[in-house]
Amino acid sequence: MLSLQKILLLHVLACLGRLAHGSDIIHGTKAPENSMHYMASVQNNMGQHVCGGFLITEDFVVSAAHCNDSSLTYVVLGKHNLKNGNHQKIKIENKIIHENYQQVGLGNDIMLIKLSEKVKLGHGVEIIQLPPAEINLKENQVCQVAGWGKTKTHGKPVDELRVVNVSVITSKNCEEQWPGLPANVICAGGYNTTKGFCQGDSGGPLVCHGFAVGVVSFNYYKNCTYPNKPNIYTDISKYRKWIDEVLRKKKRLSKVI
Ligand SMILES: *[C@@H]1O[C@H](CO)[C@@H](O)[C@H](O)[C@H]1NC(C)=O
Ligand SMILES: *[C@@H]1O[C@H](CO)[C@@H](O)[C@H](O)[C@H]1NC(C)=O
Ligand SMILES: *[C@@H]1O[C@H](CO)[C@@H](O)[C@H](O)[C@H]1NC(C)=O
Ligand SMILES: *[C@@H]1O[C@H](CO)[C@@H](O)[C@H](O)[C@H]1NC(C)=O
């Protein structure tokens, strides 16, 4: 059963992916040039930022399933400033969405993007490690979330990548704030603090100890400035097998071709 609250939430969220400029990081700082080289900007056919993502192999980027729409065309890697021309802009070859994904807010919000060619690693582009199938995030553990999303609820998107520290919230505490929370999510930031993500940050990583443990999925209504419920991420450790399987299949396919 969906509560009214949840239906409203879903409505808002359903719009998130379609907003050309999604959420920005709230109360963050500019990401240092020498950090987070795995960050990807997923863009439409006009070269506008739609969602975040992160590079996990030379030709695969992880993002959120709710970021998918028919306009997605490019992945941009290697530059924190999207206005700077010196980056790798690669065409999307294929998008693979988790088979159980239905709608943002209902879980399984994960998408793999296959690039049409391999990126050149180095010079501001690198891969981020995925967590093992079993991870143990501790309450209040400090992690980072980054993105080119809005920096306040009704704000404008940014050109410079921004990053903010957020604390992990236990699923027990999170479920108290979010009755009916989907399975396989991580809660961090956005509650009891004014730090978190906003529209446009969707698809970006939650980074703990150098591992990409979560994918930015949804927040409460569009209220990013003082959200009163935790921010929700897809728990990547729960999708390790699915990711590995997709990568294996693609490798086999490309060998056949
Ligand atoms: C992505 O969205 C487009 C447009 O809604 C849809 O046609 C396509 O099937 C979706 N892709 C996947 C992999 O579900
Ligand atoms: C973010 O957290 C890290 C690790 O706990 C810490 O070293 C860093 O100073 C924090 N940054 C900010 C801006 O609070
Ligand atoms: C919220 O913050 C208060 C005061 O800092 C603290 O006592 C409480 O445990 C926090 N609640 C959660 C769920 O983090
Ligand atoms: C966001 O939520 C806070 C706390 O509930 C509220 O005070 C504020 O007015 C809300 N802002 C917007 C733009 O809805």
Q: Please give the chain's pLDDT, 257 residues, in tens.
A: 333 344 334 433 433 333 323 334 788 889 988 899 999 999 999 999 999 999 999 999 999 999 999 999 999 999 899 988 678 999 999 999 999 999 999 999 999 999 999 999 998 999 999 998 888 899 999 999 999 988 776 777 789 999 999 999 999 999 999 999 999 999 999 888 878 888 889 999 999 999 999 999 998 876 776 667 899 999 999 999 999 999 998 876 665 54
Active site residue 201: no
Distance (Å, whole) CA 257 – CA 250: 11
The DSSP result for 56-107, as a single string, is: EETTEEEE-GGG--TTEEEEEES-SBTT-S-SEEEEEEEEEE-TT--STTSS
Active site residue 209: no
Q: What's residue 252's pLDDT?
A: 67
Tokens in use for 211?
A: 């591992």
Answer for the pair 215, 233: CB distance below 8 angstroms, yes or no: yes
Instruction: Please list, in sequence order, all residues whose beta carbon lies within 8 angstroms of the beta carbon of residue 79, skipping any fewer than 6 positions away.
Output: 86, 87, 124
The residue whose CA is least distant from atom 2 of ligand 3 is 192
Q: Indicate which ligand has the atom closest to the C-alpha of 191.
A: 3
- Of ligand 3's listed atoms, the one at least distance from the Cα of 140 is 14
Going by C-alpha positions, the residue among 1, 89, 94 that lies closest to residue 40 is 89
Give me the domains of the chain, ranges plus CATH numbers: 37-127+239-256 (2.40.10.10), 142-237 (2.40.10.10)
Active site residue 66: yes
Q: Indicate which ligand has the atom closest to the C-alpha of 96.
A: 1
Q: What's residue 256's pLDDT?
A: 53
Q: What's residue 158's pLDDT?
A: 85
Q: Indicate which ligand has the atom closest to the C-alpha of 111.
A: 1
Q: What's residue 250's pLDDT?
A: 80
- Of ligand 1's listed atoms, the one at least distance from the Cα of 95 is 13
For residue 151, the CA-to-ligand 4 centroid distance in Å is 15
Q: Is 38 helix (H, G, I), strand (E, B) or coil?
A: coil
**Ligand 1 cavity residues, CB under 6 Å:** 68-70, 95, 97
Residue position matching structure tokens 């060998």: 255
Q: What's residue 22's pLDDT?
A: 32
For residue 29, the CA-to-ligand 2 centroid distance in Å is 11
